Amino acid sequence: MEQLGRIGRDLRSERGAECGGTYAELAISFVAPVANVFACWILARARQSGIRRLYFLSRDGQLILQAARSLAPQFGGIDCRYLQASRQALFLPSSAEISEEGMPWLFENTDHHYLWSLLAKLELEYEQIAPFFASASRDGADFVIRTGEERQEFWAALNQSPLRELLLGRIAVRREASRLYFQEAGLFDPVKRALVDIGWFLRSQRALNDLLRGWGCEEISGFYLGIRAGCESLEKAGPATALFYEPERGSLARKSSPAVFKQVLMIENIFCTADHPTVYRYELCSDGRAVPAYNCTVPPSTLARYRALSAVVSLFAEKSVRFAEEWANPAVAMDLIDGLTTVFMKNPVAEAVRPLTEIKVSFFQNDLLPLPLVRPLTWREAIAPAFPEWPFLRAFWQNPDILWHGGSVAISSRPVRMLYRAAYRMRSIRHKVGLR
């Protein structure tokens, strides 16, 4: 940790004007050191495994790619490339059939199965399924599929003509566009290669390998920051290695789970900063090529954040070369990243948090119904921990719209911060005397 701190201090003193401006504290205290340590571990594992090419998945991998390209010469010159992909772009083309078994991804990743969310993954509109799905007639696209019978009716509706033919045709078009894009990206080359991503459930690797196997290509392995408990079996997803593994639910080790698994939402949304939006699908061009297509544009603020963070990651990498082999050691890498994550997430400084207020988070594929990643607390939210049973405060206690309490406290006004800390001291006293 001392080495990381020294590099940060050197960058502030020597290259202050180039160190991210508004984003300097965020970049130097968290993003750049995590990206560089993770990149060292990845490159060392690739070298050890005889892998000659790494594909960093968008968007989470773009900042990590900047570090890896600078550090790759230290590890034998491994070819580091960028692959524009997303669950939305991979899942539909990988579908084997229109069924629960052929589309296992459709009901994943959310507990609330809104019809509009499911249809967005299939690139369908409510009007196209409405004639065949009577249960949704009252609520329309806002209908929530809750029971097994409703699921069966949903799948039956998708298999009604002409909707079935429309969906199968769309899958075929998306699959061919995917094939052309991946072929041009070099995934079909006779070279040992691997994916790189933040993590967590190997769903993108599973979908990509389903496609590669269908085209008669060798499956691809993966390197990840973390793999969550309950992830895809390696038989389905393909070979995968992570720096961190989440203990299984109910195990004694669960209480001491690595910090990255306690901050999954924060990590993936900070590192998904990129110079392009989420890939929606691959589209065929008139010249026979295929290119990534997006359903939105990059906001200027996101582009500015990416450029600032990317610049600092690269500067940090220049000074990290002499420590690269040491940081590549799994035990060292785990200790450094776990420590950085714990300190940054629990006790962030306001200067590092404020630039993140512009980030929106969605719990649905296609970035639907976004919430702010972090925002200041209101006075009701600050006092709620002390009196959670009070009816007018109940909605503010453990409010699910507050995604990062540590960050929210850091950027709240001074009176609200003082109120929040007093409320937690009072809550602690209430617990000690047996009040809940």
pLDDT grade for 248, boundaries at 50, 70 and 90: confident
**Furthest-apart CA pair in the chain: how many Å?**
74
Q: How much is the pLDDT for 112?
A: 77
Helix-helix angle 62-71:32-49, to 10 degrees: 60
Contacting residues for 313 by C-beta, under 8 A, at least 6 apart: 27, 31, 32, 35, 36, 63, 66, 67
pLDDT digits (tens, 9 = 90+) for 133-179: 999 988 999 999 999 999 999 999 999 999 999 999 999 999 999 99
Q: How much is the pLDDT for 310?
A: 95
pLDDT grade for 400, boundaries at 50, 70 and 90: low
Of 253 and 19, which is predicted with more confidence? 19
Q: How much is the pLDDT for 365?
A: 58
Q: How much is the pLDDT for 360?
A: 84
Indicate the burial class of 132 (C-beta count within 10 angstroms; 0-12, 13-18, 19 or more). middle
Q: How much is the pLDDT for 369?
A: 66
Task: Give the pTM.
Answer: 0.90
Q: Name the least confident of 239-243, 259-263, 396-400.
A: 396-400
HEC-encoded secondary structure of 219-247: CCEEEEEEECCCCCCHHHHCCEEEEEECC
Indicate the burial class of 141 (C-beta count within 10 angstroms; 0-12, 13-18, 19 or more). middle
pLDDT grade for 110, boundaries at 50, 70 and 90: low
CA–CA distance, 57 with 92 (Å, rounded to integer): 18
Average pLDDT, the chain: 89
pLDDT grade for 384, boundaries at 50, 70 and 90: confident
For tokens 């401006």, name the residue.
21
Q: Is the pLDDT of residue 127 over 60?
A: yes
Residue 310's H or E segment, with its range, is helix 300-320
Enter the DSSP assignment of 132. Answer: G
Q: Is the pLDDT of residue 309 over 90?
A: yes
Q: How does strand 279-284 pair with strand 290-294?
A: antiparallel
pLDDT grade for 391, boundaries at 50, 70 and 90: low
pLDDT grade for 220, boundaries at 50, 70 and 90: very high
As given in the structure block, the two tokens for residue 348 are 């962030």
Q: Name the least confident of 92-106, 139-153, 191-205, 392-406.
A: 392-406
pLDDT digits (tens, 9 = 90+) for 28-77: 999 999 999 999 999 999 999 999 999 999 999 999 999 999 999 999 99
CA–CA distance, 82 with 265 (Å, rounded to integer): 23
Enter the DSSP assignment of 31. Answer: I
Residue 57: strand, helix, or coil: strand
CA–CA distance, 163 with 157 (Å, rounded to integer): 8
pLDDT grade for 388, boundaries at 50, 70 and 90: low
- C-alpha torsion angle, residues 364, 370, 373, 377 (rounded to 10): -130
Q: How much is the pLDDT for 28?
A: 93
Q: Name the least confident of 216-225, 338-347, 385-394.
A: 385-394
